[in-house]
Structure 1
Amino acid sequence: MDVVLPCLDEAEALPWVLQRIPSGWRAIVVDNGSTDGSADIARSLGAHVVHEPRRGFGAACHAGLTAATADVVCFCDCDASLDPALLPAVAGPVLDGSGDLVLGRRRPVTRRAWPMHARLANLELARLIHRRTGLRLHDLGPMRAARREPLLALNLTDRRSGYPLQMLVRAADAGWQVKETDVPYRPRTGRSKVTGTWRGTWHAVRDMRAVLAERPAADQTHPHTARGAGR
Structure 2
Amino acid sequence: MTSPAPEDVDVVLPCLNEAEALPWVLDRVPPGWRALVVDNGSTDGSGDIARALGATVVDEPRRGFGAACHAGLTAATAGIVCFCDCDASLDPALLVPFVREVRDGSADLVLGRRRPQGRGAWPAHARAGNLALSLMLRRRTGLRLHDLGPLRAARRASLLALDLTDRRSGYPLQMVVRAADADWHITEHDVPYLPRSGASKVTGTWRGTWQAVRDMSRVLAEAPAPPETAAAPSRGGSRR
**TM score, norm. by length of structure 1:** 0.96
Matched, 1:221 2:231: yes
Name the structure 1 match of 2:45.
37
Alpha-carbon offset, residue 152 of structure 1? 0.2
Does the 8 Å contact 2:110/2:187 carry over to 1? yes
**Quick one: which amino acid aligns to residue 207 of structure 1?**
D
1:81 equivalenced with 2:107 (yes/no): no
The CA deviation at 1:141 is 2.1
1:229 corresponds to: none
**Structure 1 residue 28 and structure 2 residue 29: aligned?**
no
Task: Answer yes or no: is 1:201 the counterpart of 2:209.
Answer: yes
Deviations 1:112-152, CA, capped at 9 Å, x for gaps: 10000011111101100000000000000210000000100
Quote the Cα distance in structure 2 between the aligned partners of 1:77 and 1:88.
16
User: What CA distance in whole angstroms lies between the structure 1 residues aligned with 2:223 and 2:102?
Assistant: 27
Which runs of 5 or more structure 2 residues have no equivalent in the other structure?
A: 1-8
Distance in 1, Cα, partners of 2:149 & 2:157 = 20
**C-alpha distance in 2, partners of 1:90/1:116?**
27
Paired amino acid for 1:129: L
Misfit runs of 4+, over 6 Å: none
| 2:64 aligned residue | 56
Q: Kindly provide the CA deviation profile for residues 155-200 of structure 1, in whole angstroms up to 9, marking residues without a partner as x.
A: 0000000000000000000000010011100000000001100000
Report the secondary structure of 1:16's partner residue: helix
The CA distance in 1 between the partners of 2:123 and 2:10, in whole Å, is 30
2:119 paired residue among 111, 124, 127: 111
Q: Between the two proteins, what is the percent identity of the paired residues? A: 75
Structure 1 spans left out of the alignment, 5+ residues: 227-231
Q: Which residue of 2 aligns with 1:136?
A: 144
Q: Which amino acid aligns with 2:102?
A: V
Match of 1:184 in 2: 192
8 Å CA contact 2:155, 2:234 repeated in 1: no
Give the C-alpha shift of residue 216 in structure 1. 1.0
Give the Cα–Cα distance (whole angstroms) in 2 for the partners of residues 104 and 225 of structure 1. 21
Task: Give the drift of 1:12.
Answer: 0.2
Aligned residues: 226
Taking only aligned residues, the RMSD between alpha carbons, in angstroms, comes to 0.9
Residue 225 of structure 1, CA deviation? 5.7
SS at match of 2:12: strand
* Distance (Å, rounded) in 1 between the aligned partners of 2:168 and 2:88: 21
C-alpha separation in 1, matches of 2:128 and 2:217: 15
1:100 counterpart = 2:108:
yes
Q: Distance in 1 between matches of 2:12 and 2:233?
A: 19
Which TM-score applies when normalising by structure 2? 0.93
Structure 1 counterpart of 2:178: 170
Deviations 1:184-224 (A, max 9, x none): 00000000001100000000000000000000112121123
